[in-house]
Amino acid sequence: MGLPLMILRFVATPLLGIAIFFGLLLTLVESNISNKLLDADFYTATISEYNTYARIYDDVLLDQKAKDKMQELLGDVKVVNPEDIVGLVRGLLPPEYLQTQVEASIQRSLAYFNDDSDTLELYLELGPPLQQIKPTLFEYIDRRIDGIPEGDPGAPECTPATVKRVGDGYQEVFRSLGSGQVPAELPSIKAIPEPCRTLIFDAAFPALFADDSLDERSKLAMAKASNDIRTPFIAGDTHGVLKAAARPLAEPVLDDAIGKLRDRLDEGDRLNLIRVIAETSGDYSEPELRSEMAEAKEAVVQYRTLGGTIAFLMLYGGAILLAVLHLPKLSAAMRWPGIFLFVSGGLIFIVGKIFESKAVDFLGTAVDKITANAPGIPGPAINLISDLVLSFGQQLTTGFAGSAFTVLIIGALLFAASIVLSIVKPFIPGLS
């Protein structure tokens, strides 16, 4: 062996070993990005594993902070009892529908970062649930009305006092509905003779239109529904009267609440999650956040395009060149790649295991810092976020350690084979 070759091997061997190490590291990073971070199944499977969608309704929305927020969104719609809010939301936005929307949003987002889309679209389609708000709430109001007790009907007589008492009582009932509230009790009209009920209605109903407490839209709707309300009133159907009046009286209030909800949505009744994230963080505007995401996408695309190729050349090219460098001695050609693969895999395995052990604490601290800046987040929501973040983090770090261990084993086998080859070489003629 000549001196130049010895010098070349002395200089090139450690350099190629370093190339193998960083090639392996970059390969594992690229593998995690491609197989996990940019794979929709990575997110959807983990979210489903933690029963996320059911927990939103069973835990998060039952928290008082969440109830208060939903009541705030409902505005003046007081027909909904706080204990019934979650059930109504679940009916309007079932877990299955929410899951479909979230998974579609994940797919659209990853299409952007995989360079399959030019625009980052992160939103939830809320048009269908919004269309069901009024029918659902009217059904709910009917059920609540069925549960309202009737007051004492009094004597079955038709006196001016009876006409005034019952008429005033129903005016108050209609005012309550007009303000978005379901009354606690209904004035009974069953014992009153039918001609008297006709007299009461014809006297009390027109007085509503002089009542300034009623919305003008409610007055107009009540005028159109006059016959629908009059029929059950004359028939003595107390609850039927209230059901017939509930729709024209409550509809303006519901329209206002739905309008407030729509004000938070984009055209097409989409909830822009990028805007929500920007508003929650308080550090970015939506355009600034989109700009950051565009830069992140560019970095990912460039890395996957260029970094993956470089990593491949460094790892596999480095190992092949190292083997060629030590030819024609076959044992040396196996030994040196084996050593550096073993060392590289071992170092990354150890670092990966350290990350695995520290990931829980690190990510837990990160979640605590983020949620500390948003004190309105319910406790169960924080727990759910923590579970998901920790799971994602652990899966990513596990990917490093597992793959590095495989490389470690390959390196160990190559090194062992080189030792065996050195031992048996004297007994096999022609083996270098």
Q: What is the pLDDT of residues 176-229, one digit of tens each?
A: 777 767 788 888 888 888 888 888 888 877 776 766 667 788 788 888 888 898
Tokens matching residue 225: 């529904």
CA dihedral (190, 196, 197, 200) positive or negative = negative
Mean pLDDT across the stretch 84-107? 87
DSSP string, 145-164: HHTPPB-----S---HHHHH
Q: Find out whether 242 and 186 touch, Cβ atoms under 8 Å.
A: yes
Cα(56)–Cα(380) distance, integer angstroms: 8
Distances (CA, A) of 8 to 231, 323, 339: 105, 13, 18
**DSSP tag of 94:** -
Share of the chain above pLDDT 70, in %: 86
Distances (CA, A) of 2 to 10, 13, 254, 427: 13, 16, 92, 27
pLDDT band for position 427 (cuts 50, 70, 90): low
CA dihedral (217, 220, 224, 226) positive or negative = positive
**pLDDT at 71 (0 to 100):** 62
Cα(7)–Cα(407) distance, integer angstroms: 29
Cα(166)–Cα(189) distance, integer angstroms: 8
Q: Which residues contact 417 (CB under 8 A, 6 or more apart)?
A: 334, 338
**pLDDT at 301 (0 to 100):** 83
Cα(338)–Cα(344) distance, integer angstroms: 10
Q: For 126-140, 346-360, 408-422, which range has the lowest pLDDT when averaged over its residues? A: 346-360
Q: For 66-75, 83-92, 126-135, 254-263, which range has the lowest pLDDT when averaged over its residues? A: 66-75
Amino acid at 183: P
Q: Does residue 89 surpass a pLDDT of 90?
A: no
pTM confidence score? 0.74
State the chain's maximal CA–CA distance in angstroms: 128
Length of the chain: 432
- Is the bond preceding residue 328 a cis peptide, omega within 30 degrees? yes
